[in-house]
Amino acid sequence: MSLMIKGVLRDEDWLEAESQDGEFMRLDSQFRNWVTADGAAGPSGEGGFPAEPGRYHLYISWACPWAHRTLIFRKLKGLEDLIGLSIVNPYMHEPGWTFEPYPDSTEDHVHGVRYMHELYSRADPQFTGIVTVPVLWDKRRDTIVNNESSEIIRMFNSAFEAFTDRHEDYYPEALRAEIDAVNERIYENLNNGVYRSGFATTQKAYEAAYQRLFETLDWLEERLSRQRYLVGDRLTEADWRLFTTLVRFDAVYYSHFKCNQRRLMDYPKLWAYTRELYQMEGIAETVHLDQIKTHYYGSHAQLNPGGIVPRGPEIDFDAPHGRERLG
């Protein structure tokens, strides 16, 4: 990632902009418009972004768990032919995400720019904030619609129903209160908790994040011992929001972010649950562990100055999961 102030790329460490008293504090995403079926305004932002085939383009990194969510929903809802895709290089050095050639990454298919920050300044010449992925781009209005993953997945879940034959609802109205509550706990303590552990700059901040993280993993292990998915027997967005953290845990967060009390594989229910989700149709192709490891170990010089990417661990996501009996 990189830091921009009033449209100008700055030399300051982006991590310093997201730290307070030794604790990593993730800044809010700033482009918050919504694609809707009829173009009406969504829960935030302005209207004028109707769902149309070919109009929108998604920018992701294979490595980023937030971007991974959006890629999964693009797959689940059958939107690949409706929404284009560009994939950044896994290395993130100055000046941030780049489209420089790398195996399984792509060029910028919309504007052909070299750096992600060029798209942000194109959308807002006075942009101030952190340049992140995912980004949902509107090719007609030539701007960023939204760069908040939790909102992009809800757009993909519902806005394009007229153009796809996949109508499974991952945020059903009857379950929304429970989904939101589960999401909140997992986001604060696990999705973002791994970063709070890894990017902490004081022992106190690290240990507080570490404790909350493993308390949450213990809570999830117990919850999944009595039901198949996070909200009963129905697969919802809460499961996919959790999955993108779990699938990275043993390969990256356990060692690189010092989340090393237990591995994911030491939680029988969570580990089986992760394998079940991984083995669902189309999901394995969204997981690129090589790029995940290359990004984290190769881009965070403050944590891994040598940039050495470990060869292990060996992780068999294709092993039988045995969770069918919980259905």
Residues taking part in catalysis: 64, 195
Q: Map residue 184 onto helix, strand or coil.
A: helix
3-state DSSP assignment of residue 8: strand
3-class DSSP state of 232: strand
| b/e per residue 94-104 (b: at least 16 CB within 10 A) | ebbbbbeebee
Q: Which helix (H) or strand (E) holds 151?
A: helix 149-158
Nearest C-alpha neighbor of 64 from the set 151, 167, 154, 134: 134
Task: Name the residue type at position 321.
Answer: H
Q: Is 25 left (phi over 0), alpha (psi -120 to 50) or beta?
A: beta
Neighbours of 68 (CB within 10 A): 27
* DSSP assignments along 23-91, one per residue: EE-PPPPS-B---BSSS---SSS-S--B--TTTEEEEE-SS-HHHHHHHHHHHHTT-TTTEEEEE--S-
Output the CA–CA distances (angstroms, integers) from residue 122 to 144, 193, 313, 319, 323, in the order listed.
9, 32, 41, 46, 47
